[in-house]
């Protein structure tokens, strides 16, 4: 460490297929969405076995893969250690940014599936959408894409069309947890 520096920032990093990848600081919308998702699960899981884990924690999946999802839920307390999560979380969430979209939709999704992540979300701040993938036969398959409609678009819809707009969804891990899209994207610009 440089003796002239009183403070030196550490940027988070991940290891993908044995290669270290530095992660840039997140944009405000990214941080807001991650916090919103954490808040939803933190409230719901209070007093329950599963643990909601906010952005910044590492998950050790294989010898060559150490990820830092934007949010995760772990239901096996044996996987929780001081340096991170050892083994697949039950739910992993990645929030897209221009520099991570290809990894999140490609390599990371494949590794999450191979390691047994039961549910995976890819959240798009720009589209205000959540792609929900569920583990089936060793693959994370798209279950649905949930999108928050902007007010100007809702104004153009007929009452019948508005009635068909999906405004909430369920996490497959918890039958009684309904997640409003407005809560996921609250305060996002």
Strands 129-136 and 119-124: antiparallel
Domains of the chain from N-terminus onward: 13-184 (3.90.1570.10)
pLDDT tens profile 34-78: 999 999 999 999 999 999 999 889 999 999 999 999 999 999 999
Segment 137-188, tens digit of pLDDT:
999 999 999 999 988 999 999 999 999 999 999 999 999 999 999 999 999 9
pLDDT at 1 exceeding the cut of 60:
no
pLDDT band at 103 (very low <50, low <70, confident <90, very high): confident
> pLDDT grade, residue 3 (50/70/90)?
very low
* Confidence grade of residue 7 (pLDDT, cut at 50, 70, 90): very low
In DSSP terms, 86 is beta-bridged to 60
Average pLDDT over residues 5-30: 63
CA distance 7 to 58: 23
User: How far is the first Cα of the chain from the last one, in angstroms, to the nearest whole number?
Assistant: 38
Alpha-carbon gap, residue 116 to 49, rounded angstroms: 19
Residue bearing the bigger pLDDT, 130 or 22: 130
Least confident of 16-20, 92-96, 141-145: 16-20
Encode burial over 47-66: b for 16+ CB neighbours within 10 A, e otherwise: eeebbbbbbebbbbbeeebb
Lookup result for tokens 């009684």: 176
DSSP labels, the chain: --TT-S------EEEETTEEEE-PPPPHHHHHHHHHHHHHHHHHHTTSS-EEEETT--EEEETTEEE--SEEEE--GGGEETTEEES--SEEEEE--TTTHHHHHTHHHHHHHHHT-SEEEEEETTTTEEEEEEEETTEEEEEEEEEPPPHHHHHHS-HHHHHH---EEE-TT-TT-EEEHHHHTTT--
């Amino acid at each position: 460490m440089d003796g002239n520096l009183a403070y030196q920032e550490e940027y988070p990093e991940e290891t993908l297929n044995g290669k270290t990848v530095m992660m840039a600081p997140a944009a405000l919308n990214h941080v807001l969405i991650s916090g919103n998702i954490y808040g939803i699960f933190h409230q719901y899981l209070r007093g329950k076995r599963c643990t909601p884990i906010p952005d910044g924690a590492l998950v050790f999946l294989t010898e060559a893969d150490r990820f830092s999802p934007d949010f995760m839920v772990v239901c096996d307390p044996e996987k929780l250690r001081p340096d991170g999560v050892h083994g697949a979380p039950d739910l992993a969430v990645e929030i897209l940014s221009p520099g991570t979209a290809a990894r999140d939709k490609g390599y990371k999704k494949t590794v999450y599936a191979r390691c047994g992540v039961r549910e995976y979300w890819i959240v798009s701040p720009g589209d205000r959408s959540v792609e929900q993938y569920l583990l089936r036969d060793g693959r994370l398959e798209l279950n649905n894409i949930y999108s928050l409609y902007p007010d100007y678009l809702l104004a153009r819809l007929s009452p019948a069309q508005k009635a068909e707009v999906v405004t909430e969804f369920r996490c497959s891990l918890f039958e009684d947890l309904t997640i409003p899209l407005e809560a996921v994207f609250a305060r996002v610009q």
